[in-house]
Structure 1
């Protein structure tokens, strides 16, 4: 099969490799129908050390079940399924508590060196607890939006849930990437009436307004902080959803959050030195939360709004490429020529 590998910073290739096979009785092999490139894939694109073997890429996909291990219940060959970016048994104590990314028998896709979601097929461990059957056909126009349930919409929703967004809370979303825009959508869905989107790319922030942002702040640093505070009577917002992962975004979050408020981080952190002392979190009674989204916990909640057309999170995909063009997709996203690239094998 064809699969995408990264051999170092900026070096993405599509190789021919062995087809994935069942290794454990809880596995499934899924033929990929749609996948995509994640903003978090750009972190290794900037920094991955060079290697000869390459790193399999892609953790967001949906597809058709081709093979099932003997212990997989609840699925059949031919089922169209969506796969969360983390696999889990969905039965252990952590899974039952809604923290599937900490499953005692789980892990993250790609699960082995065969390939990831940016491929023609994927081996999925713990298939019964991971894969969710989709009630549409493989040619449905809803597939791009349903694909967002594998990560990006679930991650934006997780940011809002961990922050406790509700009709009584004001919200700042930091970042106009796909996760940030879908965090806006999630905050609106949960009832927030004031949603400030901090982003500088007009085509993206325009989409953010359509998703529910009431205000857009293009400034960064102290200027951006002052602008948000102007919009909130000088206090800042009750919640801040940090969807970037770089230290300046965290520092901006500290500047715009209201005393007693919550900062929820879902941008994969590219730093370890975040201030948490008296002058930052402690002195203002702030809460810091977030983490890798247990998107499996949210799929059944979010899917109905997509199926009935109330929400269209798939609008974040603004370019579609073939699998062999995946390296072009990385370049386009890195150069801000595309917001999020859809990949069709």
Structure 2
């Protein structure tokens, strides 16, 4: 099969790899219908995250089940499935509490499996994959693909920030996850949604998904603007969807006392001043999103055409042009690149 492999910063190749096979009785083999490039894939691409050996890229995926192990019971061959970017059994105590990304058997799809490929072996298939109500029409596939990570992550961020009726929500980050957090906040009934963005195209999409205000300032100026818009108090709910020092501290500063901060940006070298966080007096919750927790609800919302997260894909390329997709996202010419077969 063909798959994307990253050998060094900026060095993305399409290579032939062995087809996956059933290893454990809880495995499933899926033939991918679509996959995509994630903002977190840019960390090694830019050399910020060290590459020790060639990386099998990709962790967002939808497709059709081709084989299942003897112990797989919730999906069957021929099902169209959406999977989380974190493998989980969905039965352990932590999973039952709704934090499947912290499952005792958790492992990341990226690196070890790699779903920027024609096929993939998914361990703990019953706990990781969710079947759609039927075979989706082609126009639903981008939306279902978004549920695998960016929609589920943005959804978790909005839940962690307790976005809801009567709340003002501020979203730091105008990438795919930030945009999906806006969608989620809108669906959860937020009264006002402030998108922090300097990119005209992303501002337009933010408004499509429910943003009521756009703030272009960053850092301390961004915090000041949020407070100006909220009577000096700050937002009730803030989402941090970038992962840099500036964005995280901007999110902390934009959250009102007693408010909630949901942080899902994959961070590198972020140092949080303890005394500043202490005196902020806010609730914080974040980390890798337990996407599996939300998949059944998200799939149904997409299936019923209540939400359309698929619009976040503003560039679609065949798998063999993956390197071009990486460049487009690195240069901010694309928000989210979908790869097809």
TM-score by length of 2: 0.96
Residue 138 (structure 1) shift = 5.1
| 1:137 CA drift (Å) | 2.1
Q: Is the 8 A contact 2:169 2:192 kept in 1?
A: yes
Q: Which moved more, 1:267-276 or 1:168-177?
A: 267-276
- Are 1:145 and 2:134 matched, yes or no? no
Match of residue 220 from structure 2: 222
User: Could you report, residue by residue, the CA deviation over 1:260-289 in whole angstroms, capped at 9, with x for unpaired residues?
Assistant: 112211011112411232xx2222311221
* Greater shift in the superposed pair: 42-51 or 332-341: 42-51
Cα displacement (A) at 1:111: 6.6
Distance 1:197 1:149 in 2: 21
Aligned 8 A contact 1:32 1:64 in 2: yes
Separation in structure 1 between the aligned mates of residue 215 and residue 303 of structure 2, nearest angstrom: 32
Give 1:222 deviation, angstroms: 2.1
Q: Deviations over 1:284-318 (max 9, x none)?
A: 31122111100010011222221122210000001
RMSD, matched Cα: 1.3
2:256 aligned residue: 258
Q: Which residue of 2 aligns with 1:29?
A: 29
1:175 & 1:236 partners in 2: Cα distance?
17
> Mind listing any 5+ residue stretches in structure 2 that lack a counterpart?
none
* Deviation sequence 1:45-76 (CA, Å, 0-9, x none): 1124455x511010000011111111111221
Unaligned 5+ runs, structure 1? none
Match of 1:202 in 2: 200
The CA deviation string for residues 150-177 of structure 1, in whole angstroms up to 9 with x for no partner, is 1100100100111111113211000100
Q: Deviations over 1:19-59 (max 9, x none)?
A: 111111111111111100111111111124455x5110100
Structure 1 residue 318 corresponds to structure 2 residue 314: yes
Distance 2:30 2:287 in 1: 27
Contact persistence 1:33–1:138 (CA under 8 A): no
CA distance in 2 between partners of 1:236 and 1:50 (Å) = 40
Cα separation, partners in 2 of 1:30 and 1:111, compared to 1, 3 Å: farther
Contact 1:195 1:212 survives alignment (8 Å): yes
For residues 215 and 33 of structure 2, what CA distance do their matches in structure 1 show?
Answer: 37
Within the alignment, does 1:102 sit opposite 2:102 as a pair?
A: yes
Contact kept, 8 Å, 1:111 with 1:124, in 2: the verdict is no
For residues 161 and 222 of structure 1, the distance between their equivalents in structure 2, rounded to whole angstroms, comes to 26
TM-score normalised by the chain length of structure 1: 0.95
Counterpart position of 2:19: 19
Native 8 Å contact 1:152 1:178 kept in 2: yes
Report how many aligned residue pairs link the two structures: 340
Preserved contact between residue 244 and residue 270 of structure 2 (Cα < 8 Å): no
| Aligned counterparts, 1:8-87, within 5 A | 8-47=8-47, 48-49=49-50, 53-87=53-87
Name the residue aligned to 2:300.
Answer: 304
